[in-house]
């Protein structure tokens, strides 16, 4: 009886151990194979940069059926401004341990590809997510029937949901003038 338990359950334990090892090896191999090469990363970045520096506001507005604010269009005319990446904005007058910096990973290209890939908020209506945190959150600005000079910037947080729908700034102009710090 003493030899029966190891004789019966020994092969089962051994098979389970082999399955765990094989699964681990498979994950490592798939992770290694799915990494883009430096050439692929460079090509993806160049494609992103091409889209970012050549905004297609008219096409996007036609798809939305609304007009984007004038200040957003001006932002995309300033090539150096839209290429800024990896910073956080500090809300004026809200310094201290309780203040939350607004992280900006990068600006999104102003085109149909971005519009179709980015979230749409039914409650907010037509608009455009012009920047991202890179962590499942975006900065959104409204589109309207008539071209507005500017519009509030709303934070769409699909990652943790804590600040979802918060107004970051009363206008894009105010948002862009917030003090910038490097990402932590």
With a cut of 90, say whether residue 31 has pLDDT above it.
no
pLDDT at 87: 93
If you average pLDDT over residues 21-49, what whole number do you get? 84
**Cβ–Cβ under 8 Å, residues 104 and 139:** yes
Q: Which of the given ranges, 13-17, 70-74, 115-119, has the highest pLDDT on average? A: 70-74
- The pLDDT score that the predictor gives to residue 10 is 76
The per-residue DSSP string of 112-145 comes to: HHHHHHS---TTT-SEEEEEE-SSSEEEEEE-BS
pLDDT in tens, 81-127: 999 999 999 877 655 555 678 899 999 999 999 999 888 888 888 99
CA Rg, the chain, in Å? 24
User: Average pLDDT, stretch 33-61?
Assistant: 92
**Is the confidence at residue 183, as pLDDT, over 70?**
yes
Evaluate if residue 4 carries a pLDDT over 70. no
Check: CB of residue 92 under 8 Å from CB of residue 178.
Answer: yes
Alpha helices in the chain (DSSP H): 4-34, 38-53, 57-64, 70-77, 79-83, 112-117, 172-177
Q: What average pLDDT does the chain have?
A: 87
**Highest-scoring range by mean pLDDT, 13-22, 32-41, 68-77:** 68-77
Q: How confident is the model at residue 29 (pLDDT cuts 50, 70, 90)?
A: confident
DSSP conformational letter for 156: E
Q: Which residue has the tokens 């490592």?
A: 28
Task: Give the Cα separation of 112 and 115 in Å (integer).
Answer: 5
Residue pLDDT, tens place only, 116-171? 988 888 888 899 999 999 888 999 999 999 999 999 999 998 777 667 788 999 99
């Amino acid at each position: 009886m003493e030899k029966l338990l190891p004789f019966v359950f020994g092969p089962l334990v051994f098979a389970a151990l082999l399955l765990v090892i094989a699964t681990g090896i498979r994950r490592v191999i798939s992770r290694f194979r799915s990494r883009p090469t430096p050439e692929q990363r460079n090509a993806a970045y160049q494609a992103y940069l091409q889209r970012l520096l050549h905004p297609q506001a008219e096409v996007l507005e036609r798809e939305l059926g609304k007009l984007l604010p004038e200040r957003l269009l001006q932002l995309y005319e300033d090539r150096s401004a839209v290429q800024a990446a990896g910073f956080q904005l500090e809300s004026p007058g809200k310094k201290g341990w309780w203040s939350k910096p607004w992280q900006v990973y990068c600006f999104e290209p102003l085109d149909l590809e971005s519009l179709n890939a980015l979230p749409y908020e039914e409650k907010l209506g037509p608009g455009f997510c012009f920047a991202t945190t890179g962590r499942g959150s975006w900065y959104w600005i409204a589109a309207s029937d008539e071209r507005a000079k500017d519009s509030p910037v709303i934070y769409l947080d699909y990652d943790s949901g804590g600040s979802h729908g918060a107004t970051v700034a009363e206008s894009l102009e105010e948002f862009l003038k917030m003090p910038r710090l490097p990402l932590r």
